[in-house]
Structure 1
């Protein structure tokens, strides 16, 4: 039988954390990294400053937690590779459905987290922890996108291009956060416009096999 006291305590801890994250996100995006203080975050969350310091320790650690929460969305800080949309991008029956799943998930992620990515880029020169975390994010994103291409090819959904490395790395570059940020700055595109661009780009770079792997279309007689 569950302990109601422990359950209530856990709910309060979770609520406090969410209040801190919500306040921090608003301040980081509105005021930037350097102008945001842990004391201001505590005031925005209507908590004592000590609560924020005890929970997160440093401003850099707090920003990392805010970014992680934004990337995960409503999936309780679930890793991207374990998300439903990424699993669909690896397992859907057609290449078109896989591209759609990947584009939808990527676009939603960018819409949630892009403003915070900008804050990290702003802060990383002064915060090696954030610079390392963002580089780890680049590496992880590249691997997820390369895995998307490798799996589609292994499942017989892609033709063999003249330069498979170019194909895979182009897909990996298109899905990077900094590609989205650059497009947003230079084109002023909405997330929906970015999603259309990403879908058309991946569809152009990738090619669906005309017939199932190992089978040849029969000539007309």
Structure 2
């Protein structure tokens, strides 16, 4: 009797592809409606109708409007919907693999710039949406703090910090310097182009690193 496994595998692949198409359509519809109508007027039903799916499909995939907005935030931050952790993406892998301490800071500043260029418009919209999205923004800041702390830990592990560095305080400094508010204030508010922001941020990260403890001389890391 012929095995039915290939058929089941084929059907499973088709369902997976359909789910991915639906997810992409829903996220696109959510973005379009948010920027056209605003957060309050964007409903799950409206998103579902625009995406050509049922509201139940949206609820099943995202758990409601806050989950949908958080998913849109994550996709915008990463630049795609691939299931790859941020720390394993090419830009950050280049940071981890670079030995020169100052070059690490420059690459990290470039990464931060790219994130904010993608997120700035959505961040501004959500900050004006009221308390309904407060948890989404708070969670994004918690996740950003986790990422910044990992970066500071990497600098410490590779000998790129003074021996007596208060890493918790340095992480707080880096978190403040790399925040979306500051990017928007300097680019939108003060008219800086993104390249100027990136250069400034590199210098500020270097300054904070140098003043985080004792002298950085003698760490053995190129560029210190």
Q: When the two structures are superposed, what TM-score results if normalisation uses the length of structure 1?
A: 0.78
- Measured in 2, the distance between the counterparts of 1:158 and 1:42 equals 50
Matched, 1:64 2:70: yes
Q: Who is 2:195 aligned against?
A: 192
List alignment gaps of at least 5 residues for structure 1: 215-221
CA contact (8 A) 1:20 1:45 kept: yes
Q: State the shift of 1:93 in Å.
A: 0.6
CA contact (8 A) 2:78 2:86 kept: yes
SS of the residue corresponding to residue 123 of structure 1 reads: coil
| Bigger relative CO (Cα 8 Å, ≥ 6 apart) | 2
- Measured in 1, the distance between the counterparts of 2:206 and 2:21 equals 42
Matched, 1:29 2:32: no
Q: State the shift of 1:157 in Å.
A: 2.0
**Higher mean displacement: 131-140 or 153-162:** 153-162
Q: Who is 2:106 aligned against?
A: 100
1:32-181 correspondence runs (5 A): 32-74=38-80, 76-125=82-131, 127=132, 130-159=133-162, 167-181=170-184
CA contact (8 A) 2:144 2:175 kept: yes
Q: State the shift of 1:156 in Å.
A: 2.1
- Measured in 2, the distance between the counterparts of 1:41 and 1:55 equals 13
Please give the root-mean-square deviation of Cα atoms over the aligned residues, in Å: 3.0
Q: When the two structures are superposed, what TM-score results if normalisation uses the length of structure 2?
A: 0.77
Q: Who is 1:218 aligned against?
A: none
SS of the residue corresponding to residue 158 of structure 1 reads: coil
Q: How many equivalent pairs are there?
A: 211
List alignment gaps of at least 5 residues for structure 2: none
Q: State the shift of 1:97 in Å.
A: 2.3
SS of the residue corresponding to residue 114 of structure 1 reads: helix
- Measured in 2, the distance between the counterparts of 1:30 and 1:199 equals 35
CA contact (8 A) 2:152 2:167 kept: no
Give CA deviations for 1:77-119 in whole Å, capped at 9, x if unaligned.
4332333333433342111221122112211111222222223
